[in-house]
Amino acid sequence: MPEVDSLLHALRDPQVYPWPVTSVKMVETHISWVFLAGDRVIKLKRPVQYAFVDYSTLQKRRQACEDEVALNRRLAPDVYLGVIPIIREGRKFRIGTGEGGDIVEWATLMRRLDDDDMLDAQLQAGMEPPQLAARLAERLVPFHLEEIPECPGDPDAILNGQLGVVTDNLNELQPFLNRPLPSYEFDLINRAMQRFIGTNRRVLRQRVVDGWIREGHGDLRCEHVSIPADGPLQIYDCVEFNRDLRCADVASDLAFLLMDLARLGAQSGTIRDLIGAYQRAGAVLPSGLLRFYWIHRALVRAKVHSLQLADAKDTHEEQRISVKVMEYLHVATRQAVKTQPAVIAMTGLSGTGKSTVGKALAQALGATRIASDEVRKTLAGPHPNEDIYSAEWTDRTYRKLNDLADEAVASGNLVILDATYLDSERRLAAADVATTHDVPFLLIETVTDDDVVVQRLEERQRRGDSVSDATVDIYRWQREQHLAEPPVIPPGAITIQVDTTPDGPTSLDTVLSALEDAGLLMPQIGDVRIIAT
């Protein structure tokens, strides 16, 4: 692509566009440049060549634009307006036809959708659209079961292609191990995936024979769904650049959306109802198969964000990308492992990252997390008329933590108690909950360099966005008390220490390794029985 910088600079100028534009916003992905200009959008392909996409020549980029329009009109007929040239004449660029100049690039022209109608934005704002499952099913069930063609070919060749997409993605994540992917957590997922493939190859082949491999969307995520209150649902931005990625099991296409809905906090009933709508229409969607593809799709997103690390402009952006990669990795882990009931007590001084580690661990394992800060404020109500940090209130809070833990463990859950647990008596009381139910008790301690803790607490106070009221003074008092009289370790407790000093997301590898060694965790993708039609 000639003069990339000049072209991108020109496309930021509202005067370049042949329709009314007052301002232009550019959005960059790993394979595209998108310009939001007035009531329209133009999308350019970056001149990149990866294992899964080739935009290395102008003709390939033009063909990709034409494919994008044709394929996306299946689910977003009112959005994709056509393919337009970008012309350079002298030092100036213009969009569209006209006399003179040379075509230097091609772009997809789209109608701009309202940002507030995007499903990901609505879910992140805690505003799930009403009847979400029904509206999605109304459009997607006919698409998947009636409108799109089966992918023809020899069943063994198709199966190898399907599994190749999964294993290639696993291999393409290898260069990112430990930057930013924690190697042990990734290995857990990898073992679960390989075991599933080895165990289910015959029934996966039967899925091909039964016609479930169809040319779907390929990138079915919430940010590609526009769901206005008073207009038709639009699903856009399918994979146009690689037919092998579009040709997938219907369960795989759907699992991408299910994974994203869960990640963004959609109600569990919404996910259950959407699966139910498919099943009532005749779709065969075994739970183990959905889990398998749920994991695969989360790892695809982890890879996409990992690829962005090479373009990170500074340490802050690199950390932001790494956090996103870790989020998707935890989403995959949750589906790839099976856990046993146990009681985990987080411990450590204020500001050392107990809650950060506890939240990440709960996300990765699907564990029940019970946090003292949240329990304390729930007990007190919105307008407490007394000091909720008094010794009496603290005792009440820890008793309630144990009561809630008792209920959760009795239901067969792995429980994470997120509190300081710097007092021997409170540690022993938490351990008693585990003893009562004859399950292991684990003590996970977070440690951080002193100056880092102070910096983090000061920054947290300035932001004012934490449920915790811990201050630097509280931290220093705790530190003195802890050094003077270290709390006991309950008999039989499994102890784990996590260093949270480094910036960026904290690796859970130490914890996951200890859990697997203790027999509390194993890589297993749930129910792997697949019923052929």
SS (H, E, C) 458-474: HHHHHHCCCCCCCCHHH
- Closest-CA residue to 414 (of 487, 497, 511, 325): 511
DSSP 186-231: HHHHHHHHHHHHHHHHHHHHHHHHTT-EEE--S---GGGEE--TTS
Cβ–Cβ < 8 Å for 65, 106: yes
Taking the complete model, does pTM exceed 0.85, yes or no? Answer: yes
Task: Give CA separation, 222 vs 25, 175, 260, 265, in Å.
Answer: 21, 28, 6, 11
Give the pLDDT of residue 248: 96
- What pLDDT, on the 0 to 100 scale, is given for residue 467? 54
Residue 470 CA, distance from chain mean position? 29
Q: Which helix (H) or strand (E) segment is 276 a member of? A: helix 268-280
Domain assignments of the chain as residue spans, ordered by start: 4-112, 119-316, 340-501
Q: First CA to last CA across the chain, in angstroms?
A: 49
Cis-peptide, bond into residue 440, ω within 30° of zero: no
Closest CA to 260 of 123, 71, 128: 123
Q: How far is CA 241 from the centre of its chain?
A: 23
Q: Which of 414, 265, 281 is nearest to 331 (CA)?
A: 265
- Residue 153 is which amino acid? G
SS3 340: coil
pLDDT value, residue 529: 58
Assign residue 470 a region: left if phi > 0, alpha if psi is -120 to 50, beta otherwise?
beta
**Which residues pair with residue 346 across a beta bridge?**
418, 444
Residue 458 to residue 93: CA distance in whole angstroms:
50
CATH no., domain 4-112: 3.30.200
Please give the Cα distance from 253 to 267 (Å, whole number). Answer: 20
What is the pLDDT, as a whole number, of residue 201? Answer: 93
Are 531 and 284 in contact, with CB atoms under 8 Å apart?
yes
Calpha distance 457→204 (Å, rounded): 51
| DSSP 8-class letter at 14 | G
Query: What is the DSSP secondary-structure string of 234-266?
Result: EE-----S-HHHHEEEHHHHHHHHHHHHHHTT-
Give the span between the Cα atoms of 234 and 183, in whole angstroms: 39
4-112 and 340-501: identical CATH topology: no
| Measured CA angle at 396 (ends 395, 401), to 5 deg | 95
The pLDDT assigned to 477 comes to 87
Give me the helices (H) in 287-416, please.
287-307, 315-336, 354-365, 372-380, 391-410
Mean pLDDT of successive 10-residue stretches along the chain, which has 533 residues: 81 93 91 94 93 90 96 95 92 80 93 96 96 97 97 96 95 93 97 95 94 96 95 93 91 98 96 97 95 97 92 88 95 96 94 92 96 91 81 93 97 96 95 98 95 85 65 86 90 96 90 97 74 42
Least Cα distance to 506 among 329, 384, 339 occurs for 329
**Spatial separation of the C-alpha atoms in residues 97 and 103, rounded to whole Å:** 9
The alpha carbons of the chain give a radius of gyration, in whole angstroms, of 26
Of 148, 149, 175, 151, the residue nearest 162 (C-alpha): 151
The amino acid at residue 250 is V
CATH of 340-501, picked from 3.40.50.10540, 1.20.120.160, 3.40.50.300, 3.40.640.10, is 3.40.50.300
Question: In sequence order, which ranges of 105-154 are alpha helices (DSSP H)?
Answer: 119-124, 132-142
Please report the DSSP string for 56-109 in residue order: -SHHHHHHHHHHHHHHHTTT-TTTEEEEEEEEEETTEEEES--SSSEEEEEEEE
- Please tell me the distance from the alpha carbon of residue 291 to that of residue 299, in angstroms, as a whole number: 12
DSSP state of 29: -
* Cα(476)–Cα(338) distance, integer angstroms: 39
- The yes or no reply on domain 119-316 and CATH 3.10.100 is no
